[in-house]
């Protein structure tokens, strides 16, 4: 008679089953742990890449806003050309003023040496690439201002949706009307769509110098300096080329697409990008111009008894009047600009104790340099205590009290600062988020409300004498009466940018 399994054999079978169950549990746990580790690694890599992209973006904005804007400079806020040979330095030229030539020269590596920053690398150890708008590039750049300075580069998200449209030319859409610059983290080499081999990032096809720079002519003959070997293609958008003409913008739909983009479970485009848009860079440029003008005004006042020149009444810049001379009854307007003898009325009011031009390198020339493009966007207000006066009146100030000083307020009217002598306002692009929508050029330039927003519009009523007679030619009248007392309208408003406000304000002291 055969006996069934004894207790020992039963225990042995149970142990085996337990070991098998534990093995399954451990294997599953390892799969989960490996998955978590893999996800954590990807998150860390993505974070590193995003960090260097943001560093590059901030460096470009700082470079643009920190450039020399002496009167001989043709533009404010230009950006460097790309680095084509991988030596870290920007090329000296990357196309003509319109952007109709040397298109390929506006795409290359980020010129980190020119920007004065570290040699930034993405999580794959690759240097960053960079494309610059023809509107903002250095050297042969067009002069631009907040109204005309739209970017030209079209950018799509990973789903193929356009979020920067370089074909647009309407100032109302400047915020999304084309990128000013695009920075790329190229990621690992892959096989481009339509290709059969892995991207080649070596010195093959050309030659490299001792520092790894491409010495072929053109540099793109060397594989490591050809954007095709770093930037990818998806959804019909090839990141290794683009079009960004700033005059004929219809072809600017050929732009860039942000990754990662997948086909099934495979990554077909792994370029990560950062965009420098109009709203990233223009506020910094407005502030730079505002500080430049404020420096000139305060330097003038320091020379002439702590008194500032009379502004040019805004109404006089209507095309039917076209006068930029100062006037002895207004405390708010644009910077006078008539060439020689700019401050004639200031001189006569002061009994010839004040000068007729800015001092030092503050000669804003009306026919050359960057100033002609910006001067319609620049306004200033003067405290009544610091307006021009004859020598018998002594020095300007002290500035104290609500009527004879300027006050700085927020959009709700709350006073942020008092006892200010002068404030400069540099306006942004035309807005259609105000009522009525701002319209510029022609006689429209005679109305400050087509440039400034919010309570700043009331600054035009800072009149301490007779309303300029020439302004009566405008219909409707710009100003029919001055403020009484001045404290009703001598508040300069500052605040965050919004669809209904984009003025930048600086003041002294």
pLDDT digits (tens, 9 = 90+) for 257-288: 999 999 989 999 999 999 999 999 999 999 99
| 255, 276, 297 - which closes a domain | 276
Same domain, 126 and 219: yes
Do 150 and 168 meet the contact criterion of CB atoms below 8 Å apart? yes
What are 94's two structure tokens? 């990357």
Encode 438-471: b = buried (16+ Cβ within 10 Å), e = exposed: bebeebbbbbbbbbbbbbbbbbbbbbeeebbebb
Lowest-pLDDT range of 353-367, 429-443, 451-465: 353-367
Residue 5 placed within a domain: no
pLDDT value for 8? 58
Same domain, 125 and 140: yes
What are the helix (H) ranges across 218-307? 278-303
Place of tokens 């709700």: 412
What average pLDDT does the segment 30-49 reach? 68
Average pLDDT, the chain: 89
Same domain, 382 and 477: yes
The structural domain count of the chain equals 2
What average pLDDT does the segment 91-103 reach? 93
Tally of CA atoms within 13 A in the half-sphere of 221 that contains its CB: 9
Same domain, 267 and 292: no
What 3-state DSSP class applies to 270?
A: coil
Residue 361 placed within a domain: yes
pLDDT value for 41? 80
**pLDDT over threshold 80, residue 10:** no
Distance CA 452, CA 430 (A): 9
Nearest to 152 by CA among 45, 247, 73: 247
Which residues make beta-bridge pairs with 353?
none
Distance CA 348, CA 330 (A): 15
Distance CA 452, CA 494 (A): 11
Residue 128 placed within a domain: yes
**pLDDT over threshold 80, residue 469:** no
Band of residue 467 on the pLDDT scale cut at 50, 70, 90: confident
What are the helix (H) ranges across 67-165? 112-115
Same domain, 133 and 259: yes
Residue 30 placed within a domain: no
**pLDDT over threshold 60, residue 56:** yes
Distance CA 5, CA 7 (A): 7
Residue 34 placed within a domain: no
Distance CA 473, CA 235 (A): 57
Nearest to 129 by CA among 184, 86, 202: 184
Residue 209 placed within a domain: yes
pLDDT value for 483? 85
Q: 413 is in which domain, residue-wise?
A: 282-508
Band of residue 30 on the pLDDT scale cut at 50, 70, 90: very low
Residue 167 placed within a domain: yes
Cα 81–86–91 angle (5° rounding)?
25
pLDDT value for 38? 59
C-alpha dist (Å) from residue 68 to 72, 285, 372: 10, 12, 16
pLDDT value for 31? 45
What 3-state DSSP class applies to 359?
A: coil
| 276, 297, 328 - which closes a domain | 276
Distance CA 311, CA 301 (A): 13
Same domain, 262 and 286: no
Per the model's pLDDT, the better-predicted residue between 500 and 367 turns out to be: 500
């Amino acid at each position: 008679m055969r006996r069934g399994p004894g207790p020992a054999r039963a225990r042995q079978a149970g142990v085996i089953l337990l070991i098998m169950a534990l093995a399954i549990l451990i294997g599953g746990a390892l799969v989960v742990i490996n998955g978590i580790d893999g996800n954590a690694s990807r998150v860390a890599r993505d974070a590193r890449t995003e960090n260097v992209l943001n560093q590059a973006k901030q460096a470009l904005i700082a470079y643009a806003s920190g450039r020399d804007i002496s009167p001989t400079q043709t533009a404010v806020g230009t950006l460097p050309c790309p680095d084509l040979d991988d030596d870290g330095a920007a090329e000296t030229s990357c196309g003509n003023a319109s952007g109709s030539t040397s298109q390929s020269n506006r795409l290359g590596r980020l010129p980190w040496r020119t920007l004065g920053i570290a040699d930034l690398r993405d999580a794959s150890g690759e240097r960053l690439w960079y494309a610059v708008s023809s509107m903002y590039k250095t050297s042969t750049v067009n002069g631009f201002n907040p109204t005309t300075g739209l970017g030209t580069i079209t950018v799509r998200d990973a789903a193929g949706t356009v979020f920067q449209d370089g074909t647009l030319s309407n100032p109302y859409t400047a915020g999304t009307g084309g990128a000013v610059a695009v920075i790329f983290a190229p990621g690992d080499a892959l096989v481009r769509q339509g290709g059969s081999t892995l991207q080649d990032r070596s010195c093959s096809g050309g030659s490299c110098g001792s520092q790894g720079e491409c010495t072929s002519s053109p540099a793109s003959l060397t594989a490591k300096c050809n954007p095709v070997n770093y930037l990818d293609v998806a959804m019909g958008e090839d990141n290794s080329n683009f079009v960004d003409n700033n005059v004929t913008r219809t072809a600017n739909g050929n732009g860039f697409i942000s990754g990662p983009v997948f086909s099934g479970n495979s990554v077909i485009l792994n370029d990560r990008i950062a965009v420098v848009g109009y709203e990233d860079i223009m506020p910094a440029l407005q502030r730079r111009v505002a500080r430049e003008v404020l420096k000139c005004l305060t330097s003038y006042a320091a020379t002439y008894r702590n008194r500032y020149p009379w502004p040019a009444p805004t109404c006089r810049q209507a095309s039917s009047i076209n006068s930029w001379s100062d006037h002895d009854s207004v405390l708010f307007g644009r910077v006078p600009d008539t060439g020689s003898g700019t401050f004639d009325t200031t001189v006569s009011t002061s009994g010839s104790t004040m000068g007729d031009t800015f001092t030092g390198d503050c000669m804003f020339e009306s026919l050359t340099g960057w100033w002609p493009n910006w001067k319609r966007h620049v306004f200033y207000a003067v405290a009544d205590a610091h307006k021009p006066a004859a020598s018998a009146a002594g020095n300007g100030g002290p500035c104290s009290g609500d009527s004879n000083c300027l006050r700085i307020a927020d959009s709700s009217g709350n006073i942020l600062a008092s006892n200010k002598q002068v404030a400069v306002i540099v306006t942004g692009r035309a807005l259609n988020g105000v009522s009525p929508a701002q319209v510029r050029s022609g006689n429209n330039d005679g109305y400050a409300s087509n440039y400034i927003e919010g309570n700043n519009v009331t600054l035009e009523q800072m009149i301490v004498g007779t309303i300029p007679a020439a302004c009566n030619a405008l219909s409707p009248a710009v100003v029919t009466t001055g403020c009484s007392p001045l404290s009703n309208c001598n508040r300069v408003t500052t605040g965050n940018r919004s669809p209904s406000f984009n003025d930048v304000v600086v003041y002294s002291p």
